[in-house]
Chain A
Amino acid sequence: MEAILVDCVQNSLRHFMYRNAIFMCERLCAEFPSETNMQLLAGCYLHSNQSYAAYHILKGTQMAQSRYMFALSCFQMDLLNEAEAALCPPNEPGAEIPNGAAGHYLLGLIYRYTDRRKTAVHHFKQALSADPLMWTAYEELCVLGAAEEATAVFGEAAALCIQKQYLPHGSASQSLHTSTEDRGLASSGNFCPGADDASPRQLKHMQGNNQRDIPGNYHGATALGGAASQPSNGGSSNISFYNTPSPMASQLSGVAPPPLCRNAQPNGPNQSIVTVDSSPRSTVNSTIQAPRRKFVDEGKLRKISGRLFSDSGPRRSTRLSGDAGANSNVSATMVVGNGTSNSSKYLGGSKLSSMAFRAVTIRKVQSWTNENIDEGIRNETFDDSRTNVTSTTSSLSPSGDTKSLEQEGTTIPISGGIMNGSKVISGASEILGLLRTLGEGYRLSCMYRCQEALDVYLKLPHKHYNTGWVLSQVGKAYFELVDYLEAEGAFSLARQASPYSLEGMDTYSTVLYHLKEDMKLSYLAQELISTDRLASQSWCAMGNCYSLQKDHETALRNFQRAVQLNPRFAYAHTLCGHEYVALEDFENGIKSYQSALRVDARHYNSWYGLGMIYLRQEKYEFSEHHFRMAFQINSRSSVIMSYLGTALHALKKSDEALVIMEKAILADKKNPLPMYQKANILVSLENFDEALEALEELKEFAPRESSIYALMGKIYKRRNMHDKAMLHFGLALDLKPPATDVATIKAAIEKLHVPDELQDYL
């Protein structure tokens, strides 16, 4: 009965019928209470986005997989202390982190959100070294500012790591297949280290099926693997092999990687989930949850169904298809959808044409592997992805990026056993090559070296460049370079490539805000809200729309909604801060900016916002400190530099101020502001000639800027060159400044005449 129930639950999970799965699983747990079954039940709940249920079920459990899933639920419920305690029990300092790379990734996230940056960085690095295809770990490192160059991270060592994962597995699988059913059981038993021994009967069932098919496959694999077939070795290698997939799962949104069980399954299922991960962390949170769950369950399923190789297939394929062009978020959904189809189908469906050749190899593999090798097992959603396995061979592709597609090349040793050593190597190198480019580009944009980042992204092959994620990153890079027109172009292409994706759309709305395109902005906001009412980015866009129309109170409400939906989204906090400042509520503005900095200490916009508040409040030293922090993070921004200069000037350190202004002028030729500020400083230093020179230059740049003429008029007035002053004041007035300026200028004009009048009377 237990076997049937388990099978039923896994089947339901595969088909996304969560309510059925939960119900049947509860019967299973009631009839056969065991920790494995509890894990399965928790997995069902996690899949259907009810992490609180998983939390209560798994509270106090000790198995590695349970601890991992428990930590995952805690993380989703924002109980970071408990999550940390589950993954790193305080009384067992030497305990191994469950689920290897995935566990490290989850721990890294926990440390990051509890402000322990160094430890977080350490764990992300561990995760990456355990699973080089864990893109989200690298992303987190970039955001924390601690990423090494992509060439180093996704380089030789990574390639070797990937190969080790696949090749030994192949040999192991051979051994498995060739072994008797017992061995198979043993190995399968090995595969799921954390799980209670799934009923050997179940395993046997699967094994029985698989073994028929697999031996054939394994032959090929054996040749490749060339490893001694020792069931135990195979088992263990399998296990380790499987481990890597889990990290990928974690990519999903930084949420804990799929449970250890995945280990058993080759990257397949994980991978698919992983792709989902590629989406930005902040936005991913909500979306990722779903995919992750899947993994968790899958792992369990695998254990239970005893299907050894099912994982790799479906997941990978889904991932691959998912990767094609979609943001990771999208891919998640894609993966899910694809889950059921065979990997081959995925291949066909996947947009990535590059996969084509891989598809060929995979298809070949598929033909060998008849059934459901793993795929079905792991991914609930992907049932019988035997063929998937082949597609998942690329399994290494947890790195959500399109790179995962490349993984196709690496045949999954498990699935079809067809993984060729050479294929693994070539596939791994392709994936790593793609990851290298993307990683380097992302790292450079996090360091705000945007022009270099753009150059790196241009090196991508066309099909990868024209994907939502990459185009969004390109848009962000242009945004940071204050080239709003190009940014707008890139973002609109990104919308076309993946209209359902929300990553980067908050930046797009800010670009439209700067360009004052209220029609496009309101259209974007409406579209985003109708796509996903529960995403922070949609409400950020809506808020920007209202802010553009100067309705700051409504804009603030919208940004607060965005904050409520995702308190870990730093930009929403920053935008709240900007609105508070516009409403002149500086106290709350400071609080908002500080919340943003708590989430992401490298969010230079918040440092800038704080600097501006202190500048307004005339607390110049604070202001200078904050602008300097912003400058340290983003040293290419001429805007930050010019404000730093203004603050320095207010502190009477005018020489330093002028130096910084010069730097700012050089940093961005198109920015007229530093020159204007320089003129301001020179005027207050009574250095009128240089000031006039600077302003004359500036006139060429921006001939229709009234403040230039106004300032020049002021200088001529001080110099007593009244006719020139009159001329410039007149020009300034012609350019229609706002009423306050009109008043000031006219007052100045009146005062101009007084000396003349006095002279007349004399």
Chain B
Amino acid sequence: MATESSEGEDEGKVTGGNPVLIVEDDLREMGKKAAWSVSSCKPGNGVSSLRDDNLETYWQSDGAQPHLVNIQFQKKVKLQLVVLYLDFKLDESYTPSKISIRAGDGFHNLKEIKTMELVKPTGWVYLSLSGNDPRETFVNTFMLQIAVLSNHLNGRDTHLRQIKLYGPRPNPIPHQPFHFTSREFINYSSVR
């Protein structure tokens, strides 16, 4: 998770982007269990392009700002990281410049938890949802909303090429308060 410079509590500026997607081992992608929806889209560039693992396809919005991507889970999940793939070189005025991430139980009580300013991003942009406090490493929520508040060069609509959502891996052994770290425990902890 490089090239992230988040200064301050809420706002941060991100320049550039990472050409590769590398996340820590103890995180896993959570997006498969969610229902994804968008506020508007151009036919042919819909929400599925956000999750198809194809960086050539993109979602193009088709309405008024802010453009929203809504991610809803059936149960509360712990989320730690949002990664977006953006490309200023290809999308220019469609590239988002200000992004706000909100979380809550549903549309009625979303609260902003992070905002980010992007400057000509090209590649994977990592947005960590953790607070400074180690107790706030995760956001435990039913719903996440990624809002594109403004674009580069004052573009109206926006392109997002891919979104990935990461949370912690669950304990491989159920009903355990803590993870096991030592070899002896792990060897005996399951039958394969």
CA distance A670 to B185 in the complex (A): 10
- Which secondary structure characterizes the binding site on chain B? loop
B177–A646 contact, CB under 8 A? Answer: no
Which chain B positions have C-beta within 8 A of A652? none
Q: How far is the CB of B80 from chain A (nearest CB, A)?
A: 7
The distance from the CB of A735 to the nearest CB of chain B, in whole angstroms, is 6
> Within 8 Å CB of A514, what residues of B?
187, 192
Interface string of A546-588 (1 = CB under 8 A from B): 0000100000000000000000000000010010001010000
Q: Kindly state the separation between the CA atoms of A705 and B181 in the bound complex, as whole angstroms.
A: 6
Q: Are B185 and A738 closer than 8 Å at their CB atoms?
A: no
**Shortest Cβ gap from A576 to chain B (Å):** 12
Assembled-state Cα–Cα distance A434/B174 (Å): 46
Kindly provide the distance from the CB of B131 to the nearest chain A CB, expressed in whole angstroms. 11
Q: Does B42 reach chain A (CB closer than 8 Å)?
A: no
A605 touches B185 (CB 8 A): no
Q: Is B141 an interface residue (CB 8 A)?
A: no
Q: Could you tell me the distance in whole angstroms from the C-beta of A101 to the nearest C-beta in chain B?
A: 37
Q: How many whole Å from A684's CB to the nearest CB in chain B?
A: 10
- Give the docked Cα–Cα distance between A354 and B178 (Å): 57
A616 & B174 in contact (Cβ 8 Å cutoff): yes
Which residues on A sit within 8 Å (CB–CB) of B171? 740
B169 within 8 A of A: yes
Assess the A482–B188 pair: CB atoms within 8 A: yes
Are A739 and B80 closer than 8 Å at their CB atoms? yes
Chain A: CB-nearest residue to B169: A738
Chain A 663-684, CB-CB to B under 8 Å as 1, else 0, gives: 0000010111100100010000
> Complex: how many Å from CA A206 to CA B80?
83
**A704–B138 CB distance below 8 A:** no
Q: Tell me if B137 counts as interface (CB < 8 A to partner A).
A: yes
Task: Tell me how many residue pairs across A and B have CB atoms closer than 8 Å.
Answer: 113
Q: Which residues of A contact B33 (CB under 8 A)?
A: 584
Q: Which listed residue, B134, B174, B182, B190, touches A639 by the CB 8 Å rule?
A: B190
Name the contact of A737 in the complex, choosing from B138, B169, B175, B179 (C-beta under 8 A). B179
How far, in angstroms, from A743 to B136 measured CA to CA in the complex?
Answer: 7
Which residues from chain A contact B136 at a C-beta distance below 8 Å?
743
Specify which chain A residues have a CB less than 8 angstroms from the CB of B133 in the assembled complex: 746
How many residues of chain B have a CB within 8 Å of chain A? Answer: 35
Q: How far in angstroms is the closest Cβ of chain B from A120? A: 27
Chain A: how many interface residues by the 8 Å CB criterion? 54
Partner of B134, one of A584, A612, A742: A742
Say whether A747 contacts B135, CB under 8 Å.
yes
**A738 touches which of B138, B176, B179, B191 (Cβ 8 Å):** B179
Which residue of the partner chain, among B24, B170, B192, contacts A510 with CB atoms under 8 Å? B192
Residues of chain B within 8 A of A650, CB atoms compared: 175
Closest to B33 in A: A584
Q: Is A615 an interface residue (CB 8 A)?
A: yes
User: Is B177 touching A710 in the complex (CB atoms < 8 A)?
Assistant: yes
Knowing A739-B26, A747-B135, the reply to whether A671 touches B179 (Cβ < 8 A) is: no
Q: Using a CB-CB cutoff of 8 Å, which residues 573-627 of chain A contact chain B?
A: 575, 578, 582, 584, 604-605, 608-609, 612, 615-616
A705 touches which one: B169, B174, B175, B184 (CB < 8 A)? B184
**How far apart are the CA atoms of A609 and B176 in the complex, in Å?**
17
Pair A639/B184 contact, Cβ less than 8 Å: no
Q: B188 near A705 (CB under 8 angstroms)?
A: no
B189 at the interface (CB under 8 A from A): yes
- CB of B168 closer than 8 Å to a CB of A: yes
Residues of B within 8 A of A680 (CB): 176-177
- The complex places the Cα of A668 from the Cα of B187 at a distance, in Å, of 13
Residue of B nearest to A747 (CB): B135
B residues 133-192 touching A (CB-CB < 8 Å):
133-138, 168-172, 174-185, 187-192
- With both beta carbons as reference points, the residue of chain A lying nearest to B167 in the complex is identified as A740
- With most chain A CB atoms within 10 A of its CB, the pick from B33, B78, B80, B176 is B176
A605 CB contacts on chain B under 8 angstroms: 191-192
Chain A residues, CB < 8 A from B169: 738
Beyond contacts A707-B176, A737-B181: 20 other A-B pairs, Cβ-Cβ < 8 A, are: A575-B192, A604-B191, A646-B175, A668-B188, A672-B188, A702-B185, A705-B185, A706-B179, A707-B177, A707-B179, A710-B178, A735-B181, A739-B168, A740-B26, A740-B168, A740-B171, A742-B134, A743-B138, A747-B134, A750-B135
Q: List 30 A-B contacts (CB under 8 A).
A: A582-B172, A584-B33, A604-B191, A605-B192, A612-B174, A615-B174, A637-B191, A639-B189, A639-B191, A640-B191, A646-B175, A671-B188, A672-B184, A680-B177, A701-B184, A702-B184, A704-B181, A705-B184, A707-B180, A707-B181, A707-B185, A711-B177, A737-B178, A740-B137, A740-B168, A740-B171, A740-B179, A742-B134, A743-B134, A746-B134
**Which 8 pairs of residues, A with B, have the shortest CB-CB distance?**
A707-B178, A746-B134, A705-B182, A747-B135, A616-B174, A743-B137, A671-B188, A738-B26
